Amino acid sequence: MAATTYQRILLKLSGEVLAGPNESGIDGGMLDYLAKEVRSAVELGVQVAIVIGAGNIFRGVQGQQRGIPRASGDLMGMLGTVINSVALQETLESLGLPTLIQTAIPMGQIAEPFHRKKAVQALTQGTIVIFAAGTGHPFFTTDTAAALRAVEIEANAIFKATKVDGIYSADPVKDPNAVRFDRISYADVLQRQLKVMDLTAISFCLEHDMPIVVFDLKTPGNIQRILSGEAVGTVVHK
């Protein structure tokens, strides 16, 4: 087992990433890619938990535009995260990686209900734990669910996978003078209103001193590089 910077991480994936080059749905090639990136962390002896969004399937705010109450729309989104979790589970297990899905909403034929001690026990035994259905409550994003679960399982950090190589002072696509941060405090993220995670999630991480590593998921090997101590992406800290 190689020495790593973090022994237990929570990987936060957006639902959109599962769509790959498509606007929605689940792309098989992207699933394979993600599973191999997760495997690279496991091969280093790192315990991995995962939270996935459902933007590739449905968002609660989309429902409001169609006359669906936000609470009901959020419930639909939570169910979407379960679909994504099952798809990722099957792909991980095809690589020989043991997995466990725990859901915030009971659905016994698919997964077991969230149980902190069982999740931690599974992680210590080398099982990848996927937390589905967000927090189980409407009006909370999967960013907040990731922050909550990371603190509950005593992860060393949240790995926030994105489409860019870190946090910038402004949108680098729109502003050529935008500066990328190697490290930035929670307070600065909140003050600058940088779109790292939603404000509830950032505030929760600040309160519990949970580091967030924001990195480019599209670059193969980035997860392994971060775990090996390389300076990749941006670290949000106290």
Q: Is 12 annotated as a binding residue?
A: yes
Kindly report, residue by residue over 21-39, the tens digit of the pLDDT: 998 999 999 999 999 999 9
Q: Is 138 annotated as a binding residue?
A: yes
Residue 179 in any domain: the answer is: yes
Residue 231 in any domain: the answer is: yes
Q: Is 172 annotated as a binding residue?
A: no
Q: Is 186 annotated as a binding residue?
A: no
| Residue 156: predicted pLDDT | 97
| Residue 3: predicted pLDDT | 55
Q: Is 59 annotated as a binding residue?
A: yes
Kindly report, residue by residue over 159-181, the tens digit of the pLDDT: 999 988 999 998 888 898 999 99
| Residue 5: predicted pLDDT | 79
Residue 139 in any domain: the answer is: yes
Task: Label the pairing between strands 99-103 and 157-162.
Answer: unpaired
Residue 64 in any domain: the answer is: yes
Residue 143 in any domain: the answer is: yes
Q: Is 141 annotated as a binding residue?
A: yes
Q: Is 159 annotated as a binding residue?
A: no
Residue 3 in any domain: the answer is: no
| Residue 171: predicted pLDDT | 86
| Residue 59: predicted pLDDT | 77
Q: Is 13 annotated as a binding residue?
A: yes
Q: Is 72 annotated as a binding residue?
A: no
Q: Is 53 annotated as a binding residue?
A: no
Identify the segments of the chain with pLDDT beneath 50. 1
Q: Is 14 annotated as a binding residue?
A: yes
Local structure of residue 114 (DSSP, 8 states)? P
Q: Is 134 annotated as a binding residue?
A: no
Measured CA to CA in angstroms, residue 72 lies from 55, 63, 107, 140, 198 at distances of 16, 8, 17, 13, 20
Number of other residues whose CB lies within 10 A of the CB of residue 1 = 8
| Residue 62: predicted pLDDT | 72
Burial class of residue 2 in the structure, from the number of CB atoms within 10 Å of its CB (0-12 exposed, 13-18 middle, 19+ buried)? exposed
| CATH (domain of 224) | 3.40.1160.10
Q: Is 140 annotated as a binding residue?
A: yes
Q: Is 181 annotated as a binding residue?
A: no
| Residue 2: predicted pLDDT | 52
Q: How far apart are CA 13 and CA 163, in angstroms?
A: 11
Q: Is 142 annotated as a binding residue?
A: yes
Q: How far apart are CA 78 and CA 60, in angstroms?
A: 9
What is the domain count for the chain?
A: 1
Residue 1 in any domain: the answer is: no
Residue 112 in any domain: the answer is: yes
Q: Is 139 annotated as a binding residue?
A: yes
Domain of residue 222: give its range: 8-237
Q: Is 94 annotated as a binding residue?
A: no
Rounded to two decimals, what is the model's pTM?
Answer: 0.94
